[in-house]
């Protein structure tokens, strides 16, 4: 990690391997937040620790799918100590994040049917630490609307590549005006609203990668969703899974 007066982090990445780490370093990142879908926190932590080194900090995160498949709102939690399952009610998820003093981020606001709405920001403004104002899967009007929400509710901004594809890592990053040495320092900065700027790449290569990420939604919302709903059995992050030791019984 750099020892300067800034810290560049891609705050939401879904993929992680040697090529992702290499690309992140090539892009000059100091850290990435690794938050894959439907993966329990201990597994995320294990992978994050495996791929962290002196040049790149990999921070474990969880994008929790609150609610059911038809009515779900995503929240990105960074700094969790205990696992939190998907599919629990929104209020219960927020309460659990508060209990663990995690940073709570609103990814891709008002995007499709999986995001926080304006009424959610109105109701939960004091419990949200940042709003994603640029996302590589967004169209320009989505990003413009996200910036409007951040301004209206006076919430700090963040950005990410939201990389589901390895080549997208580092297409956008949040640059903090402070350097960090550990994940807990990043979490504190998110919660404290430390000054930062939103940075993204530009040009035709960036536009192509953004288009590829948007096209990937077709896979996520077609066969992959069908497989998860009907073919693969219980998700490892389902609240009834044995891994949660009955902590969330009856909430789904």
Task: Report the distance separating Cα 28 and Cα 132, nearest Å.
Answer: 21
CA angle 16, 206, 137 (to 5 degrees): 65
> pLDDT-based confidence at 206, cuts 50/70/90?
confident
pLDDT at 222 exceeding the cut of 60: no
The domain spans of the chain are: 7-244
Helices (H), 193-244: 204-220, 223-226
Q: How many of the other CB atoms lie within 10 Å of CB of 247?
A: 13
CA distance 163 to 45: 18
* CB-based contact 179:151 (threshold 8 Å): no
Which of 224, 219, 252 has its CA nearest to residue 72?
Answer: 252
The per-residue pLDDT for range 12-64, each reduced to its tens digit, is 999 999 999 999 999 999 999 999 999 999 999 999 999 999 999 999 999 99
Determine the average pLDDT of the residues in 1-10. Answer: 76
- On the question of pLDDT at 247 being above 90, the answer is no
Main-chain phi, psi angles of 184, to 5 degrees:
-65, -30
Per residue in 70-129, pLDDT (tens digit) is 778 999 999 999 999 999 999 999 999 999 999 999 999 998 777 899 999 999 999 999
pTM to 2 decimal places: 0.89
On whether the CB atoms of residues 79 and 100 are closer than 8 A, the answer is yes
C-alpha span between 80 and 99 (Å, rounded): 10
231 vs 221, higher pLDDT: 221
Pairing of strands 57-68, 71-78: antiparallel
Dihedral (CA of 122, 124, 129, 130) sign? negative
- Domain 7-244 CATH superfamily: Metal-dependent hydrolases (3.20.20.140)
Q: Would you say residue 2 has pLDDT above 50? A: no
pLDDT given at position 205: 85
The two structure tokens encoding residue 133: 């104002």
d(CA 157, CA 154): 9
The pair of three-digit structure tokens given for residue 157, joined into one six-digit string: 């901004």
- Least Cα distance to 199 among 173, 169, 179 occurs for 173
Q: Mean pLDDT, the chain, as a whole number?
A: 88
Does the structure show a pLDDT above 60 at 161? Answer: yes
């Amino acid at each position: 990690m750099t020892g300067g007066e800034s810290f560049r982090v891609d705050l939401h990445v879904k993929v992680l391997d040697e090529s992702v780490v290499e690309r992140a370093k090539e892009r000059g990142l100091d850290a990435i937040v690794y938050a894959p879908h439907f993966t329990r926190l201990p597994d995320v932590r294990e992978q994050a620790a495996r791929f962290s080194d002196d040049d790149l900090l990999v921070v474990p995160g969880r994008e929790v799918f609150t609610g059911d498949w038809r009515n779900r709102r995503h929240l990105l939690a960074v700094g969790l100590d205990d696992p939190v399952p998907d599919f629990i009610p929104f209020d219960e998820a927020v309460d659990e994040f508060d209990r663990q003093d995690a940073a709570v981020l609103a990814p891709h606001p008002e995007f499709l049917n999986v995001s926080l709405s304006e009424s959610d920001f109105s109701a939960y403004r004091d419990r949200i630490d940042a709003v994603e104002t640029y996302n590589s899967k967004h169209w320009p009007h989505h990003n413009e609307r996200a910036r409007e929400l951040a301004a209206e509710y006076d919430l700090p901004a963040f950005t990410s590549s939201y990389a589901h594809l390895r080549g997208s890592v580092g297409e956008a990053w949040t640059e903090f005006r402070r350097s960090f040495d550990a994940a807990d320092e990043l979490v504190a900065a998110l919660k404290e609203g430390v000054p930062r700027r939103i940075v993204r790449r530009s040009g035709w290569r960036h536009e192509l990668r953004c288009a590829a990420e948007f096209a990937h939604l077709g896979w996520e919302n077609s066969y992959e969703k069908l497989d998860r709903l009907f073919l693969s059995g219980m998700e490892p992050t389902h609240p009834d899974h044995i891994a949660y030791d009955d902590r969330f019984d009856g909430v789904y």
